Structures are given as structure tokens and as C-alpha cells.
Amino acid sequence: MLPWTEIGAQISRSIGIPFSVEKVSSIGGGCVNHAHRIEGNDQLFFVKLNNADRLSMFEAEAAGLQEIHGSRTLRVPLPLCWGKNRSNAWLVLEYLETGNGSRNGAAALGCGLAAMHRFSSEKFGWTRDNTIGTTLQINNTSSSWGEFWRKYRLGYQLQLAKINGYAGRLQSQGEQLLEQLDLFFTGKQPIASLLHGDLWSGNYGFDGAGQPLVFDPAVYYGDRETDIAMTELFGGFSAEFYAAYRETYPLDPGYKTRKTLYNLYHILNHLNLFGRGYQNQAEQMIGKLLSEVK
């Protein structure tokens, strides 16, 4: 039985006035959680549901949204409350009506992301772990970006791939890549920028006024190039977005090479989440990267 009565009661406590769920509408598009729009007392909220053991995932997402909101750059749906019962965990968010984007909106997204990337921390990582998809994303802090990327991003994903049975060339060349990782950062000292962390086309949109908003983050502090690289991995971002970003915050010349290094993390994660169909792509990316340092 879905926990709408419990969610309604928790919303009431959070907003300080009575609220009861009168109408529930399922919203498609997500592959991890069940999403719903709930209505009652002339108010709307967005609710994500999953199994009870996923509460920590929702807690981390709420913290990530609050982190981005605190930067005063890009708009996010504000988290209201979260909880669980024996069967379900939930996250209640501000409901934002979405509209169509425009060239101006795409440019505003680029400028807003650049501004968010100027919001920085002393160390790479974050105050808590979160998830990338459903995979644990370890955010232990480090003063070295190369060490962080080696240990908590590529190294961790390669370890998961080994556990999942993906051995051979992927592991042997993956180890070579980890050993030579520092060569990709020669002369580069990235700042620890606030990152969305999972910035593909399904995780941004525009509000009713055409202004950009982002959601479903996997927040941490790291090299800003990782966010830009992911926007190029699956497409869906306009020329106006990239032009506005680069004009506001130009990229270093070595980005073209590091783009593959950063997107390898997401392809390895897709391999671990969705299976062998991503193995060849991961191996090709590793081979390309190794050829850059020979």
C-alpha cells in the first residue's frame, strides 16, 4: 500500500498547515524512482518513491539540491521532507511547472552553470557519499584531484566491474591508465568546483518563464570539466549553451583529452548498471587515453 497518508501528514508538519493528499498523478521518465505529482488543499508537490532501504539516497539528493540552492546560481526544486515506512522511502520536493526552452534560456543555463562552477571548496569530494544512478558514489575528501579521480571514481568503478565479472583487457589496461593518470593533469591545478555530477539532458529543463533549472544531482566538488564532459556524452545541449559557458568561464586547452577521461567514469558506471553492452566502449576509451600518454 502506497504511503500517501503518511506523506500527507509529514508535509503538514513541514509546512505548518493541514495537508492531505487528494489526487495522485504518476509522472514518467525516471528509471530509478517512481515519480508522482500530488495535489491537495490547492497545493502541488513532487514526490519520489522507492524501496525503504533507499532513504539514504533521498537524503543525499536533498542535501545536494540544498547545496546547489545555496550557491544562488541555478534554480532547483527545493526539498521539503523525506522519510520512510516499512515498505517505501520518499522524497517530497517543490513542484515546478516546466515550459519550453529558448536560445536565451540555453544561454542562461550555460552562464548559470559557469557561475555554479565558481562556487568552490578547499578540497575535492563532499561531506557525504551519494549515488550516481543507483551506484554508490564515494565522496571522501582529498587535496589531490588526481588521487581523488584515481581512487574514488575510475578505480572504484573498475573494482566494481571486476566484481561483476568484467576482466581481461578492461582490467589490465584500466590498471595501466590508473598508473599514468597524473600525466593528464600536467600543468593543471583544477579548483574544487561545485558540480551537478550527473548533468545529462534528462536532468535539466526550463520553468514556465523559460529560465533554466536542474535536478537529480549527484553533487560533489571537483574539476568543472567533468560536468561539461558529461553534457557532451549523450548530447542534448545546444550551441548557445556551450558558447555562453565558454564566454563566461573558458575551458583549458587540455579539456579535449580529459573529456574522454571524465566520461569513462560514466561509461564504466553504465557497464556496471546495465551490462556488457558498454564494455567495448569502455575498452576503446581506455585505449584512446593510453595512446595519448605513450
Active site residue ranges = 198
Q: How far apart are CA 20 and CA 11, in angstroms?
A: 8
Task: Tell me the three cell numbers of residue 282.
Answer: 569502455
Residue whose grid cell is 544561454: 107
SS3 213: strand
Q: How far apart are CA 10 and CA 288, in angstroms?
A: 51
SS3 134: coil
DSSP class of residue 85 equals -
Task: Tell me the three cell numbers of residue 47.
Answer: 514526490
Q: Where are the alpha helices (DSSP H) in 20-140?
A: 55-70, 103-117
Task: Tell me the three cell numbers of residue 41.
Answer: 488543499
* Of 27, 138, 46, nearest in space to 93 by CA: 46
